[in-house]
Amino acid sequence: MANEKIGEANMESNERLQKVMANAGVASRRASEKMILDGMVSVNGKVVNELGTKVSGSDVVVVAGKTLDTEKKVYFLFYKPRGVITAASDDKGRKVVTDYFKKIEQRIYPVGRLDYDTSGLLLMTNDGDLANKLMHPRNKIDKTYVAKVSGIPENEDFKKLRLGMMVEGKKTSPAKARLLSADQKKKKALVSLTIHEGRYHQVKKMFDAIGHPVEKLKRETYGFLTLDGLTSGDFRELTHDEIKRLKSK
């Protein structure tokens, strides 16, 4: 059985084989029926040539030597709590984001990452093509963070953030930055920062560079998506329109 995969069926459970093939872009439904009758299709290692055959996402369908991707694609918006690893597993036994999705049948994984001590919006899916697309630098997806920082940044600090600044020998892209609130007594401030880059620890390093280290960090938006209606540890499925908008980027 070949390892190469074709198509994505996006199927519900127990659908007719020819419909699954057509949904995955193998061929039209009529042409798919002919391929089945011609013995070109196998299910779980057995050639099938009956048009009434039904398959589910757990079945392995091979068409002309290539495996069909029959697992239903799922998409979730997750409010990641602090103290959770952005990974599918952890060799130190720490809590990971997939621990919150144990009732989900599909094997999902995070799109990008948030630090262990950072909370906020994280996408979870089993759609590798979309995940890779969203993470590619050319897409320049805005991500807004709210940071609690030591000290109170001044206008010159915000100017540096907005124009771009040198961080570890490389200039950052222009960002959107504004002061949300300031506690003069405690010498703390809440700052909103919107960037489209995704360098390692970038937000923390940008605030370090202006002399205002991050004490607490939360990602509030990812493109047009927000945390509205969710509390820490909650998740929801993306709507059809939201998925369509993400795929159109």
Strands 235-237 and 225-226: unpaired
Strands 143-150 and 225-226: unpaired
Which residues are catalytic, by number?
115
Tokens of 237: 């499925």
* Among candidate residues 142, 151, 160, the one with its CA nearest the CA of residue 220: 142
Contact in structure between 120 and 88 (CB atoms under 8 Å): no
Please, how many CA atoms are within 13 Å of residue 7, restricted to the half-sphere of its CB? 21
